[in-house]
């Protein structure tokens, strides 16, 4: 087929034919019914058995998708990647089927969802377009599909998320029952009125430069830290630079040391900005995009969209050693498997992860990709102290909106119900009054939705304020003109929806107004950074923040504390840089204290993060996985629960048998979790014992027996050797000498651990080291597995901490 084809019935036969020829299959449908899934399972199974990657994205709009349909997909297509789009009552109606083939690829767009009727005899219109008609449109469709597939509104389909969806589906259908006809799998279009789609934020492009450029102080410090990392022969590292300090330019300066560089990001706007930055720093070197519209492979610097290069089809166009340096910009949690696929393909000399968020909580994926090695982290409060960013005056204003009655849809509040409480005259009046009381000259207002931005702009215009509402649907020229007018002072205020989170630099902005619930601490921090740029005649930035009883209200203020501690109660105020102020309405203080009393925030935040991660991976995450990927700082697990196993018990995640093991061996788990570690030696010896396997791990050992494993573990990675064999004695031990290593193990950790262990759990007598723990029958399996999890976590966390300490010390000296 070399032309467009209109299909009005029996679409399933075309899906089957194209599946046989495909090397990649990617589908997006608004609804899925069990009857339709039964039709497609046989030929999708054959494709999967042939090794064809399959991605399916199904919507939850109005909870029409049947849970049984999702369960069938999950059970019958175990190798497929399946995600659920959580619409939050916003319209979601795509029906597209993409097939990448060897000779030709095909895009099907039309009206058919995954129901028996829609795929066979129902009245449907679908167009089949081969790449011979327009190859660029197909590539653009693939890119758009992957952006949707890995959007923050999506969640991986697994046993955990299926159970959650089944519960929501049941509740939704009690509220608004679906007709019996529909339950038999016939699709009927339901609408709830027009809704604005939340388009991805758009960054303005920058003009090209001709003048030479050199690193600013923060970038120079980061480059020095990276030089230290390279000298110690690390192969991966992460750099955290607060918004406004120039993380993209840092990557460009660092790239000077490498011949071929790949820069990967999840937004085209970030790629465009990165390409301009690299060209500014390296005007004599070549740059090119690898994205939906351009696919060059021959430049010194390649700027690739993860949604294009994440495909195995495109990865195969590059040799494994094609790049010396790979730079990964911060990315969404859901896309982590795609990044891992990319990094499993390439073998660069060095991997650099960059992020602007000054803590790990929303950037665990970049953190994990870099093996937890943070070369340098500069918090925006540190940058203010060093006069690299402007100080701020913060005003936390009480918002009397009751958010507790608004349904929470996965990652955000239900948009329609949120609008009902936001679009109120008295609320708009209070926003205007507080802005008028604290404002300076140029303001950006962060709104929840396009409708709220438009409504608030109209309200302010009636107050004779020169303002404008900008969002993803605004014309690019309108955005450019508005930026110029705000910069010149012709505009006082811009209402926006996620438009100025990243990639836009308006240094003269001196007032930020937040009139939306804070859903992501990472985005909140980036938005704060919009006002902290230094500019002439700008002494500070005013932050006006409406705080109500929404989720994260009692946690968000931790961004103003470098250690991430909750602030804002009567007893605790953040320690701020000079010339900064922090003000809260008394009602806000009372609200935050009440919220903390009600839900023990630190414990509940840990449990919530645990459940979120469990939904993503589809099983109970291990301790190290929780540390690397959960959106909380895992060190608080020990502070709040004593042990990770204790947190699982608190969250009611243990079986009855496991609960018994936890209670019986609680003292042992706390010993392994909390025993002091000035060196890694205790956990290395424990790891040796665990390496002997389930049946033998509790057998006594001697220092001589442990010596080869001990030495190999500490010398097989340069960073381990440079940390724990760095003193004079350690340097002598880098070459294996049985007796010297055995003597070291005997002195520390064996003798030291036996002397410090509680309740006589560890002993070292007559050269025999053992744990005085007796496990009976099935107890041993849980005891072994959990001990292994704690040891893996503690070793990883130890070397992370020591790596950061060494880097900071070397930077200071």
**pLDDT tens digit string along 247-259?**
899 999 999 999 9
Measured between alpha carbons, how far is 46 from 25 in angstroms, rounded to an integer?
12
Domain presence at residue 631 = no
Is the model more confident about 490 or about 732?
Answer: 490
- What pLDDT is recorded for position 411? 64
- Rounded percentage of the chain residues whose pLDDT exceeds 90: 49
Cβ 357 vs Cβ 220: under 8 Å: no
In a domain, 535, yes or no: yes
Q: How many CB atoms lie within 10 A of CB 204?
A: 17
Burial (CB count within 10 angstroms: exposed 0-12, middle 13-18, buried 19+), residue 490: exposed
Residues 324 and 403 in one domain: no
Question: Domain end: 320, 343, 378, which one?
Answer: 378
**Calpha distance 13→30 (Å, rounded):** 20
How is residue 295 annotated by DSSP? Answer: B
The pLDDT score that the predictor gives to residue 450 is: 86
Residues 154 and 241 occupy one common structural domain: no
Confidence of residue 811 (pLDDT cuts 50, 70, 90): very low
Which comes out higher in pLDDT, residue 573 or 207? Answer: 573
Q: What pLDDT shows up at residue 74? A: 94
- Inform me whether the pLDDT recorded for 810 exceeds 70: no
| Per-residue confidence (pLDDT) for residue 203, from 0 to 100 | 40
Backbone angles phi, psi at 284, to 5 degrees: -95, 0
Where does 60-187 show beta strands of DSSP type E? 81-85, 95-101, 106-110, 126-130, 154-156
User: Which of these ranges, 620-629, 752-761, 784-793, has the smallest mean pLDDT?
Assistant: 752-761
Q: Which residue has the higher pLDDT, 410 or 262?
A: 262
Residue 369 has pLDDT above 90, yes or no: no
Phi, psi of 389 (to 5 degrees): -130, 160
State pLDDT tens for residues 36-56.
999 999 999 999 999 999 999
Please check whether residue 722 lies inside any domain of the structure.
yes
| Structural domain ending residue among the three candidates 357, 378, 399 | 378
- Average pLDDT score over residue span 310-327: 91
**Rounded to whole angstroms, how far apart are CA atoms 642 and 109?**
54
pLDDT of residue 504: 55
Average pLDDT over residues 290-314: 87
- Which residue from 354, 351, 332 is spatially nearest to 274, judged by alpha carbons? 354
We report the CATH number of the domain holding residue 89 as 3.30.870.10
pLDDT of 648 higher than 80:
yes
How many residues in the chain?
813
Enumerate helices (H) and strands (E) in the chain, giving the number of each: 34, 26
Residue 602 has pLDDT above 80, yes or no: no
Q: Do 233 and 360 reside in the same domain of the chain?
A: yes
Give the pLDDT confidence score for residue 704 in this predicted structure: 96
pLDDT > 60? residue 188 = no
Say if 586 falls within a structural domain.
yes
Closest CA to 587 of 528, 537, 547: 547
Residues 364 and 415 in one domain: no
Q: Domain containing 265: what range?
A: 217-378
Q: Is the same domain home to 293 and 353?
A: yes
pLDDT at 625 over 80: yes
Domain of 497, CATH number, reads 3.40.50.300
Q: Which of 351, 378, 405 delimits the end of a domain?
A: 378
What is the distance, to the nearest Å, from the Cα of residue 424 to the centroid of all Cα atoms in its chain? 34
Asked whether residue 199 carries a pLDDT value surpassing 60, the answer given is no
Alpha-carbon distance 45 to 50, whole Å?
Answer: 9
| Band of residue 618 on the pLDDT scale cut at 50, 70, 90 | confident
Report yes or no on 28 lying in a domain.
Answer: yes
* Rounded-to-integer distance, Cα 530 and Cα 507, Å: 8
Q: How many domains does the chain have?
A: 4
- Per-residue pLDDT band for 232 (boundaries 50, 70, 90) equals confident
Please, which pLDDT band fits residue 812 given cuts at 50, 70 and 90? very low
Work out the number of other CB atoms within 10 angstroms of the CB of residue 470.
23
Q: Within a domain: residue 697?
A: yes
402 plus 363 within the same structural domain = no
Pairing verdict, β 408-409 and 412-413: antiparallel
CB 150 within 8 A of CB 609: no
Asked whether residue 646 is assigned to any structural domain, the reply reads: no
Instruction: List, in order, residues 6 or more apart from 484 with CB less than 8 Å away.
Output: none
Confidence (pLDDT) at 554: 74
């Amino acid at each position: 087929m070399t032309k467009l084809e209109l299909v009005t019935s029996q679409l399933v036969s075309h899906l089957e034919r194209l599946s046989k020829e495909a090397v990649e299959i990617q589908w997006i449908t608004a609804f899925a019914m069990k009857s339709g899934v039964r039709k497609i399972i046989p030929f999708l199974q054959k494709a999967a058995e042939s090794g064809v990657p399959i991605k399916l994205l199904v919507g939850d709009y109005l909870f029409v998708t049947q849970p049984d349909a999702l369960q069938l997909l999950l059970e019958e297509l175990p190798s497929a990647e399946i995600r659920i789009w959580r619409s939050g009552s916003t319209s979601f109606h795509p029906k597209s089927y993409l097939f990448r083939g060897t000779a030709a690829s095909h895009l099907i767009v039309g009206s058919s969802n995954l129901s028996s009727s829609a795929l066979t005899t129902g009245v449907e219109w679908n167009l089949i377009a081969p790449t011979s008609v327009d190859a660029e449109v197909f590539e653009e469709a693939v890119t758009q599909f992957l952006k949707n597939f890995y959007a923050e509104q999506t969640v991986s389909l697994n046993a955990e998320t299926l159970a959650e969806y089944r519960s929501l589906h049941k509740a939704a259908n009690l509220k608004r029952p679906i007709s019996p006809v529909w339950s038999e799998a016939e699709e009927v279009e339901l609408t709830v009125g027009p809704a604005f789609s939340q388009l991805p934020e758009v960054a303005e492009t920058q003009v090209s430069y001709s003048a030479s450029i050199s690193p600013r102080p923060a970038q120079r410090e980061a480059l020095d830290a990276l030089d230290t990392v390279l000298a110690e022969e690390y192969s991966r590292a992460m750099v955290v630079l607060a918004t406004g300090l120039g993380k993209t330019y840092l990557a460009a300066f660092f790239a000077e040391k490498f011949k071929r560089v790949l820069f990967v990001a999840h937004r085209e706007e970030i790629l465009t900005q990165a390409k301009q930055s690299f060209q500014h720093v390296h005007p004599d070197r070549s740059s090119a995009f690898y994205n939906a519209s351009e696919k060059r492979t021959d430049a010194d610097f390649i700027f690739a969209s993860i949604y294009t290069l994440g495909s195995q089809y495109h990865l195969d166009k590059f040799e494994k050693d094609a790049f010396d340096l790979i730079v990964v910009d911060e990315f969404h949690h859901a896309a982590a498997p795609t990044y891992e696929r990319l990094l499993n393909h390439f073998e660069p000399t060095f991997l650099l992860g960059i992020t602007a968020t000054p803590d790990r909580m929303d950037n665990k994926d970049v953190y994990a990709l870099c093996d937890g090695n943070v070369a340098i982290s500069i918090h925006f409060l540190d940058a203010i102290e060093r006069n690299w960013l402007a100080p701020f005056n913060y005003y936390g204003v009480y918002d009397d909106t009751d958010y507790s009655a608004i349904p929470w849809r996965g990652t955000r509040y239900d948009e329609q119900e949120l609008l009902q409480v936001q679009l109120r005259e008295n609320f708009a009046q209070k926003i205007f009054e507080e802005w008028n009381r604290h404002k300076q000259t140029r303001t950006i207002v962060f709104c929840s939705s396009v409708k709220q931005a438009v409504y608030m702009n109209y309200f302010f215009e009636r107050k004779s304020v020169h303002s404008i509402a900008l969002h993803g649907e605004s014309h690019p020229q309108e955005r450019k003109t508005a930026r110029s007018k705000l910069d010149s002072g012709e505009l006082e205020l811009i209402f926006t929806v996620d438009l100025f989170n990243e990639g836009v630099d308006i240094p003269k902005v001196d007032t930020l107004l937040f009139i939306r619930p804070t859903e992501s601490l990472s985005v909140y921090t980036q938005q704060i950074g919009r006002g902290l740029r230094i500019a002439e005649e700008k002494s500070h930035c005013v932050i006006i923040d409406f705080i109500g009883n929404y989720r994260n209200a009692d946690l968000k203020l931790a961004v103003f504390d470098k250690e991430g501690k909750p602030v804002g109660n009567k007893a605790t105020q953040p320690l701020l840089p000079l010339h900064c102020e922090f003000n809260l309405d008394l009602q806000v203080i009372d609200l935050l204290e009440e919220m903390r009393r009600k839900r023990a925030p630190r414990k509940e935040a840990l449990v919530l993060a645990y459940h979120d991660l469990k939904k993503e991976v589809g099983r109970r995450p291990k301790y190290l996985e929780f540390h690397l990927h959960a959106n909380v700082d895992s060190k608080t697990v020990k502070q709040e629960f004593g042990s990770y196993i204790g947190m699982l018990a608190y969250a009611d995640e243990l079986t009855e048998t496991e609960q018994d093991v936890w209670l019986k061996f609680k003292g042992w788990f706390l010993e392994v979790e909390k025993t002091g570690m000035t060196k890694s030696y205790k956990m290395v010896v424990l790891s040796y014992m665990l390496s002997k396997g389930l049946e033998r791990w509790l057998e006594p050992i001697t220092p001589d027996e442990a010596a080869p494993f001990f030495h190999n573990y500490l010398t097989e990675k340069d960073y381990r050797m440079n940390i724990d064999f760095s003193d004079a004695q350690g340097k002598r031990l880098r070459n294996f000498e049985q007796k010297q290593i055995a003597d070291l193990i005997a002195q520390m950790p064996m003798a030291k651990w036996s002397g410090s262990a509680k309740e006589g759990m560890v002993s070292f007598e007559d050269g025999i080291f053992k744990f005085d723990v007796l496990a009976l029958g099935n107890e041993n399996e849980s005891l072994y597995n959990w001990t292994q999890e704690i040891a893996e976590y503690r070793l990883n966390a130890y070397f992370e901490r020591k790596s950061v300490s060494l880097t900071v010390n070397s930077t200071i000296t």
